[in-house]
Amino acid sequence: MTDQSYAPTSEFAAQANGTADLFDAAEKDFEGFWADQARKYVTWSTDFEQPLDWSDAPFAKWFVGGQLNVAYNCVDRHVEAGNGERVAIHFEGAEGDTQTITYADLQKRVAQAANALTELGVNKGDRVAIYLPMIPEAVVAMLACARLGAPHSVIFGGFSADAIRSRVADAQARVVITADGQHRKGKVAPLKAAVDAAVTGEDSCVEHVLVVQRTGADVEWHEHDLWWHEVVDKQSDQHTPEPMDSEHPLFILYTSGTTGKPKGILHTSGGYLTQAAYTNSIVHDVHPESDVYWCTADIGWVTGHSYLVYGPLANGATQVVFEGTPDHPHQGRWWEIVEKYKVSILYTAPTAIRACMKWGQEIPAKFDLSSIRVLGSVGEPINPEAWRWYREHIGGGSAPIVDTWWQTETGGIMISPLPGVTTLEPGSAQRPIPGISAEILDDMGEPFTEAEKVGYLVLTKPWPGMLRGIWGDNERYKDTYWSRFGEKYYFAGDGAKYDADGNIWLLGRVDDVMNISGHRLSTAEIESALVSHHQVAEAAVVGAADDMTGQAVWAFVILREGASQGEVSDDIVNELKAHVAKEISPIAKPKSIMVVSELPKTRSGKIMRRLLKDLAEGREIGDSTTLTDSSVMDFIKSNLSKS
């Protein structure tokens, strides 16, 4: 427990969607509880017969026999219910252009896009890759795919051509949707060029590239390219949604694993939508008639999928979609948007909050933020200092903060306070939400409840939004998540502990995966990018604690041809940083690169990243007795103090 905790006010509790009785209901009848949520939050064209089929564990089937159309649930049913004039999206462009899109407008746009994709030969089951900036077409494209039952694979707009190529090939996408460019801090950055580089070659599975005109930038044009406006705008705005099986694939989203090859996390329809809508209601406390909700995540990450597209739209919420960055054209841009649209619920990442803290509290103080009533945090642990700053300077000293723990794999929020029920403990995600069960295990795989003892977080029951596997690799799915502690437990990969009050504190990844500004990156992936540079012989990468980004990438490289420590120019370091940015993404760019002559290795040849991490975090170097050559760390250390 920290020195202060925060109970909900009675006014907040009285209006909250998430109530204490949900815990009892879920406890009493787990499957019945989820069946109730599925019927409450989702409209089924055929009701399901069985809530859960776990007979083929760990491959779950939820809401068996049920049929639904996800896009119908996110759009049409709100229009049918008489809410067509409600604003679905207040779009705020990076350069200040805006669009107001009602649910009726959204229905037409999604229908036209679905008709266009059909004309291009996209059928139920075909995969479509989406590589777009944060513009309305991104949401429309995702919903059009969902409407057709064509699983989308959204690729974050900051990823490189190589990342697109491997993801497109792995999913065998037939169509890629991109834009002519993207706005970035007052400049136009290329976007389509990366797609061009990724889909060239005889063997590419891509038949069409659909290009949204966003910036007017010149683009190279190929035979398979089509302008979005030329293909979509002429389509009929009527389209009948086809019901899909509850387990029909909705999307694939790639995330880093401990090997260099990203995992295509597979999510399906009925269970995923149920959990996204349910959590958006009980955790964010969205009241669609009165709230203006804003999730700042990019659609390229799971947060954008679940809490910008599927959850809030299924609930019929009004939301802000923002294309730009918080500091352009000034560091108060977010707060200007909150004031302008009277945002009442804001969901963002600790790294952004820490950046705002650094810029100073006088910046948000210039704006009227009194509309805010709920704040959320996601992606990494939020340190209590940032938590308190967030509540004080953004939440008017009174807004509850929901610190939500979940993963690409879980599809939706798993551990979080309920803002009308939980007494908030800054820095802790606290308890599993109703319907979710977690434990912390020791090294032997035994659950424990002692306070302050560090163990491994596991989930002990299937849940509706859970991944249904890794695209094309069932074995890797079982190995990665269901083997470390046996097939009874889903191993999340996070370290965790309880405090004396039974709150869960998440302690970061226990495997070789880093979390940079809420984005998951694997050490192996960055190492292999470094080694792909012609001057690098070997590389070790660690994620070191960083005030601003949570963790930062530190790389240690051995150059080819005996380039020794000390005489290395800045040029090579800068070149390697740029190389990683190009190979993976600017997010993966190392904060520090140190050229060394040896790396600390065990006798079996495994790099001891733990020691490098100690060094990068400025700690006493831990036990190095298993090193082949214990002088290696002294070398590296003395060199570090020189630089």
Give contact residues for ligand WT7 (rule: CB under 6 A).
255, 301-303, 378-381, 403-408, 429, 492-494, 506, 509, 515, 518, 520
- Least distance from C-beta 457 to ligand WT7, angstroms? 8
Q: Which is nearer to ligand WT7, 462 or 518 (CB)?
A: 518
Residue 218 CB-density burial (10 A; 0-12 exposed, 13-18 middle, 19+ buried): exposed
Q: Which is nearer to ligand WT7, 302 or 540 (CB)?
A: 302
Q: Minimum distance between the CB of residue 180 and ligand WT7, rounded to whole angstroms?
A: 28
Q: Measured from the CB of residue 347, what is the shortest distance to ligand WT7 in angstroms?
A: 11
Q: Which amino acid is at 576?
A: L
* Three-class SS of 479-525: HHHHCCCCCCCEEEEEEEEECCCCCEEEEEECCCEEEECCEEEEHHH
Q: To the nearest whole angstrom, how small is the minimum distance from the Cβ of residue 568 to ligand WT7?
A: 33
CB of 604 to ligand WT7, least distance (A): 27
Minimum distance from residue 265 beta carbon to ligand WT7 (Å) = 8
Give whichever of 181 and 434 is closer to ligand WT7, judged by the CB atom: 434
> CB–CB of 517/550 below 8 Å?
yes
Q: Which residue lies nearer to ligand WT7 by CB, 249 or 379? A: 379
Nearer to ligand WT7, 175 or 513 (CB): 513
In whole angstroms, the minimum distance from the beta carbon of 415 to ligand WT7 comes to 7
The distance of closest approach from Cβ of residue 425 to ligand WT7 in the complex, given in angstroms and rounded to an integer, is 13
Nearer to ligand WT7, 149 or 412 (CB): 412
In 3D space, the residue among 331, 309, 497, 509 whose CA is nearest the CA of residue 407 turns out to be 509
Mark 359-370 as b/e (b = at least 16 C-beta within 10 Å): eeeebbeebebe
Residues 6+ apart with CB under 8 A from 434: 18, 22, 23, 25, 26, 33, 282
Give CA–CA dist 533/189, Å, rounded: 25
| Cis, peptide link before residue 58, omega less than 30° from 0 | yes
For the chain, counts of helices (H) and of strands (E): 22, 30
Largest CA distance in the chain: 73
SS3 call for 144: helix
First-residue to last-residue Cα distance in the chain: 40
Give whichever of 247 and 403 is closer to ligand WT7, judged by the CB atom.
403
For the CB of residue 306, give the shortest distance to ligand WT7 in the complex, in Å: 8
Nearest approach in angstroms of CB 520 to ligand WT7 is 4
Q: How far from 332 is each of 94, 99, 292, 325, 397, CA to CA, in Å?
A: 13, 21, 19, 10, 19
Angle at 466 between CA 377 and CA 141, to 5 degrees: 75
Q: Give the residue with the Cβ less far from ligand WT7, 145 or 297.
A: 297
- Computed over its alpha carbons, how large is the radius of gyration of the chain? 24
Q: What is the Cα–Cα distance from 381 to 383, expressed in whole angstroms?
A: 6
In the complex with ligand WT7, the residue whose CB is nearer, 324 or 379, is 379
For ligand WT7, the closer CB: 76 or 380: 380
